[in-house]
Amino acid sequence: MSRFKAVIFDLDGVITDTAHYHCLAWKRLAESEGVHFDEAFNEQLKGIDRMGSLNLILAGSSRSYSDEQKLALADAKNRHYQELIATMSAADLLPGAVDALAAVRAAGLRIGLASVSKNAFTVLERLGIRERFDYVVDAALIANSKPHPEIFLTAARELGVDPAHCLGVEDAVAGVASIKSAGMWALGIGSPAVLTQADRVIRALDRFKLEEYQ
């Protein structure tokens, strides 16, 4: 019998790669505020929510910003991002994503999504996989961003599964920390040298083998 009753996936960098679109949108905003933005800076934003990412960027500006100005900038970035993801389709699914979801379903486990992206529902619809998830956390209702465990604990609660019986799948350091803080088993997607808190790390979901994590 499997020790897991549910698998909870992150979205960006695990099932699809919207990181490029986020990068383009943040880069345009940063440069409009006179802040240098490169790939290294973008890596710092992985797993961080919109306002958290904005604050990291604006910390590099010589200006001070009111809460209203910050909200306006965050909205501008999101509008640009939404324009970019409007072109997404099933072709944007990462290798192995559909097979991994199918394997979890075939094993009789529940499937959840725990993404800090407030556009997660839109992205899932564009990818054509919304119906594959039993529960998708609404990031707009989450008070604490990763690495806080709230989003994974919410997913487990709504799936009706004890966190100890959940496997979390993440590609970001903050995300893996969130999984572990929630008391779950963590499967990292990426580099073992980076995702040091994960219980196991694989390159991508095309290496996903549920039977090896039981």
**170 among the known binding-site residues?**
yes
Separation CA 40–CA 140 (nearest Å): 27
* pLDDT given at position 214: 81
Same domain, 204 and 111: yes
Q: Is the pLDDT of residue 45 over 90?
A: no
Same domain, 35 and 115: no
Domain assignment present for 138? yes
Q: Is 206 a catalytic residue?
A: no
1 assigned to some structural domain:
no
User: Are residue 116 and residue 150 in the same domain, yes or no?
Assistant: yes
Known binding residue 171? Answer is yes
Residue 75 annotated as catalytic: no
- With a pLDDT cut of 90, the percent of the chain lying above it is 85
118 among annotated binding-site residues: yes
* Residue 53 and residue 154 share a domain: no
Residue ending a domain, choose from 32, 64, 85: 85
Q: Taking the CB of residue 41, how many other CB atoms lie within 10 A of it?
A: 17
Convert 79-92 into a string of H (helix), E (strand) and C (coil). Answer: HHHHHHHCCCCHHH
Cβ distance 172 to 14 under 8 Å?
no
Same domain? For 54 and 135 the reply is no
More confident residue, 47 or 21: 21
The domain that holds 125 is classified in CATH as: 3.40.50.1000
Is 194 in contact with 43 (CB distance < 8 Å)? no
Is residue 1 over pLDDT 70? no
Say which residue, 191 or 45, is predicted with more confidence: 191
Q: pTM to 2 decimals?
A: 0.84
Candidates 10, 162, 199, 206; catalytic one: 10
Residues 12, 38, 92, 162: which is the catalytic one?
12
For the chain, the domain total comes to 2
Going by C-alpha positions, the residue among 151, 161, 166 that lies closest to residue 118 is 151
134 among annotated binding-site residues: no
Dihedral angle, C-alpha 195, 140, 160, 115, nearest 10 °: -30
Asked if residue 157 and residue 110 are part of one domain, the reply reads yes
The answer to whether 209 is a known ligand-binding residue is: no
Among residues 85, 101, 129, the one where a domain terminates is 85
Residue 145 sits in the same domain as residue 113: yes
The mean per-residue pLDDT over the stretch 205-212 comes to: 96
Domain span at residue 25? 19-85
**Span 103-135, pLDDT tens digits:** 999 999 999 999 988 889 999 999 999 999 999
In a domain, 103, yes or no: yes
